[in-house]
Structure 1
Amino acid sequence: MPRFAANLSMMYTEHDFLDRFAAAAADGFQAVEYLFPYAYDATELRRRLDDHGLKQVLFNAPPGDWESGERGIAALPGREAEFRSGIDRALEYARALGCPRVHVMAGLVQPDAKPAEHRDTYLANLARAAEQAAAAGVDILVEPINGRDMPGYFLNRQADAHAVVQDVGASNLKVQLDLYHCQIVEGDLTATLRRDLPTGRVGHLQIAGVPDRHEPDRGELDVSHLFGVVDELGYDGWMGCEYRPRAGTSEGLGWLNDYQGENA
């Protein structure tokens, strides 16, 4: 049965960030993920995890100037030194938090950009990051993101992400398959899962309802079917709940309680 991690950047926003760990644990979550840890001391974050019996399963490397609209720098020529520094910082937090995965955002590119130049930069940066992360026992993840939510994002399609992973050739470089983004860009989720999960190149799954990114049972996805496919394929990783609750996080967990009750 899939194991679910609460995304504390989107869920439990009715609480202050550091109080979201307790709220997630109270609802039965055993793991958490979120966008960035860097505004908080790693020791404090680790204490929150330990106090509530939670595992940290994912966070993102520094994305450049997020507040100014940047969404990663891995594929941006000329930002290599900043990227390397960001990976160093991410791995410091990963070690402190016992987190085995770090997502590296590619970045936004202009419509008239030269794709080959960005891809070459991306591959080189990912190769360096994977080499650094391997020494720490950490996987580096890349994620295709839909262009409706993030116009101009460099990586949109699953096949392109898998090609990047194969071209770099590092065993700890993997794809983060977000079923919300995948459905918006290309659909065919059942076939995608059956094609890609057995390759061993998928390091993390995420879920949200389509089209509004609310609870996963709201909208066009048959999540019970998708969870069954994931289970059938023997995926033993985590599925991050990266969605915005419609009206209170705990009140919207009926989908999870029903699924776990059916499979108890």
Structure 2
Amino acid sequence: MTEFFAREIDTTKPSAARLYDWYLGGTHNYPIDRTFGELATQICPFVPDLARNNRGFLRRAVQFAVENGIRQFIDIGSGVPTVGNVHEVAHRTAPETRVVYVDNDAEAVVTSQEMLEGSTVATSVAADLRQPDLILDHPGTTRLIDFDQPVGLLIVAVFHFVSPSDGPHQLMRSYIDRLAPGSYVALSHITVDDATPVAAEQLQDLEREYGSTSNPAYLRTRDEFTQLFDGLELVEPGVSYATDWRNFEPVDPHDPARPCFYAAVGRKP
């Protein structure tokens, strides 16, 4: 049974979840989101490519975890459901896989709940990444997730909305400490470390624009991203670009978006 979430949807400011949906060509967004999305792509034309690259990493990370025995996932910052979401990817291999989607955006949660109504293996929870106890102890989570067994924790394209004052490293530790040995954690994060000078300037301009949205963004370095995996063993190939992580399809070496998204998966020993 899905726990329905009732809250007025704020359409006065763009939201990260709805913008991500718009970048991916979805329809669960509002005029304020589309206006900002058009501005964002004028500032940084490869933003939709960032979203698609990240989505591809998410799917590969889920498939990897399922192939390594994971049968339960928590997807924090899941956004508005789109084709190829976590339970669709997992269920192709293991139909019994259980999934808890988490987001702080009302549109994302309400749409997820409508899509998952009647499901016995997936649900949607309204919470923010910065509320680990609320997420992990939520009745919707504990109904589906057995924390005595390994979990696939997905926090994909979310930590760049966590400010330094929120203590991202400590926040990540609060999740890792609750996971059973053998759990996997997948993270991705926007960066300008290896970006071309033009791409770096565009992303930095976009970072400033995101300050006017409901979800201000923060760029981080490779070292800062890697520190989020403290206490975990990085699986091969370690920290890489989202496009490259266990991707056996050709990638475009000239894609300006390629070096602008770090991704990795860690295993709790």
Q: TM-score range by the shorter chain?
A: 0.3 to 0.5
Larger relative CO (CA 8 A, sep 6+): 1 or 2?
2
TM-score (norm. length: structure 2): 0.36
TM-score (norm. length: structure 1): 0.36
